[in-house]
Every structure is written in C-alpha cells, then in structure tokens.
C-alpha cells in the first residue's frame, strides 16, 4: 500500500516536471504572435492582461495539452509492442491477423492532435500583453492587444550606448534619437 502511494506520487511529480519543462519548448515551436517569455528577464510564467474567458481558455488548453501529452507518452510503449507483435505475425504469413497490430501507430494520431491543439491554445493566450513577471517582478501597464501585437512587429535597434530603441514598422527610413545619449541615427528600412 505504501509502495503504491509512493510510486503514484513519484509518477505525478515526474509528469509535472516533464510538463513544466516541455510546455515552454512546445510554445516556442508553435507559431504565435507574441513571445511567451518575459521581455526583461526571459523567464517563463508571465501573467497577462487577458479577459477572464481567455484565461479560462488558457487553463483548458493547459489541461488538454497535459492530457494529450500523457496519453501519447503512456501509449507509445503499447504502440511499439503492438507493432512488434504485428510484424512477427506478418512474418509468419498471417497478414490479415497482423493488420490491426500494424495499424496501432495510428492510435497516437488523436492524442498527438490533442497535444497540438492544447499548445495552440496556450500560444494564442500568450498573444495578450504581459502584466507581471513572477521571476523578476517586472510590471507593465494595461495595453490593448492589437497595440501590443503592432509593437511586437516593430524593429528594435540598439544604440552605441547600449540603449534598445523600438522603431515602428515602416517601409521608409526614419530617424531615431536615443533618450540616453541623444545621438540621432537612421533606423533600418523594413520591407
């Protein structure tokens, strides 16, 4: 009884660590409009200026991602086992009996799609502007989502003094003055 409870708790903790490690990497691999990380420290876990319904969608997306990933992870050994049995049966000449076992890898298509759907929902939530970083405790004022996404598409130029300047997305060259050192320079052309 104690060993079973200990193994269950160990499995839960390992799965939690795996999802915490994997979720940021999946979010970075799914194309989305805004970075999931803190703009200042690069840390993961930024609170967003999002409406409650969007936060609810995010929580459901995390649960969907975790469910799909868990089923995929736990189903992988079974799929390999069925495929080996199917190949062995087909090798003995009984191809009709081997077809269900050889089709076992298709069983991972649904959990894989569910995992990707959860990742896409998390990526959509991260297109809302950041509000608070739990790592560096940086705070940002409330912004409109469309304005935030427009600002992300702007170009960031670094001055010689090290100050980072944000230049709006423009097809013509504009001049930018650094607030720190006062040097004016031409911003690169985009487009």
At 124-142, the pLDDT tens digits run 888 888 888 888 888 888 8
Q: Where are the alpha helices (DSSP H) in 92-144?
A: 95-102, 109-125
Average pLDDT, rounded, for the chain: 76
Please state, in angstroms and rounded to a whole number, the distance separating the CA atoms of residues 170 and 191. Answer: 8
- What local confidence, expressed as pLDDT, does residue 74 receive? 85
Comparing CA positions, the residue from 159, 131, 133 lying closest to residue 143 is 131
- Please give the pLDDT value at position 53: 92
The phi, psi pair for 157, rounded to 5°, reads -115, 140
The tens digit of pLDDT for each residue in 98-108 reads: 666 666 777 77
Highest mean pLDDT range out of 45-59, 93-107, 130-144, 171-185?
A: 45-59
Which residues, listed in sequence order, are joined to residue 44 by a DSSP beta bridge?
37
Q: Which of 72, 62, 171, 173 is nearest to 113 (CA)?
A: 72
**Residue 112 confidence class, pLDDT cut points 50, 70, 90:** confident
Most confidently predicted of 32-36, 55-59, 159-163: 55-59
At residue 131, the pLDDT reads 84
């Amino acid at each position: 009884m104690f060993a079973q409870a200990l193994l269950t708790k160990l499995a839960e903790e390992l799965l939690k660590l795996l999802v915490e490690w994997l979720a940021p990497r999946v979010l970075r691999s799914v194309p989305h409009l805004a970075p999931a990380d803190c703009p200042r420290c690069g840390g993961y876990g930024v609170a967003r200026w999002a409406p409650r319904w969007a936060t609810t969608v995010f929580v459901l997306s995390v649960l969907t991602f975790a469910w799909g990933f868990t089923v995929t992870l736990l189903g992988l050994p079974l799929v390999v086992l069925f495929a080996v049995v199917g190949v062995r049966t087909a090798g003995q000449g009984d191809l009709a009996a081997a077809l269900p076992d050889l089709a076992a890898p298709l069983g991972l298509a649904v959990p894989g799609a569910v995992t990707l759907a959860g990742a896409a929902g998390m990526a959509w939530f991260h297109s809302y502007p950041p509000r608070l970083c739990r790592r560096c405790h940086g705070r940002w004022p409330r912004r409109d989502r469309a304005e935030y996404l427009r600002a992300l598409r702007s170009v960031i130029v670094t001055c010689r003094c090290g100050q980072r300047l944000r230049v709006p997305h423009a097809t013509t060259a504009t001049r930018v003055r650094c607030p720190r050192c006062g040097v004016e320079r031409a911003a690169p052309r985009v487009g």
